[in-house]
Amino acid sequence: MESSQESIFDQAMSRYQSGTEPIELIKDFEAIIAAAPNHSAGWTCLAWLQLLCNQNDAALRSARTAVKLNGQDPQARINLGLALLETNSKGVRSQIEYVKRILVVVPELEKELKSSIEDGLVRKPDWKALKKIKDWLEF
């Protein structure tokens, strides 16, 4: 991916981290993946934003694409698990089990994932699906 695309991604991430509403960022991430369709982090972020905005069917498609592009990304797997829960689809357990296995091998990812989950619960305090996943991961 071009460095200009990476810069656009970094700017969008910075805006998210500074508190910009998720709905305002969806178009940015759609533009990122339109320009770089294999940008797995872009798909992962788009799925997260869509989940925050209750765009669950779109989030399921985005999360599946993110996992297809980078099946080793635990955040992509968490997003897919969330989207599966939110759409009453099957396959949640395998996503959570995969994340648990990743955390055994790469335990330093736990802090990042906990932070992401806490961010989600701050932005969407009554997010039942995320609370379930948090419990399943024992965070």
User: 3-136 has which CATH code?
Assistant: 1.25.40.10
Band of the pLDDT at 7, cuts 50, 70, 90? Answer: confident
Let me know: does 119 contact 139? Beta carbons within 8 Å: no
Strand, coil or helix: what is 120?
Answer: helix
The two three-digit tokens of residue 137, written as one number: 């991961």
End-to-end CA distance of the chain: 34
Rounded distance, CA 47 to CA 103, Å? 21
Q: Where are the domains of the chain?
A: 3-136
pTM score, whole prediction: 0.93
Would you call 132 exposed, middle or buried from its count of C-beta atoms within 10 A (0-12, 13-18, 19+)? middle
Q: What is the pLDDT of residues 82-117, one digit of tens each?
A: 999 999 999 999 999 999 999 999 999 999 999 999
What pLDDT is stored for residue 1 in this prediction? 44
Rounded distance, CA 9 to CA 34, Å? 12
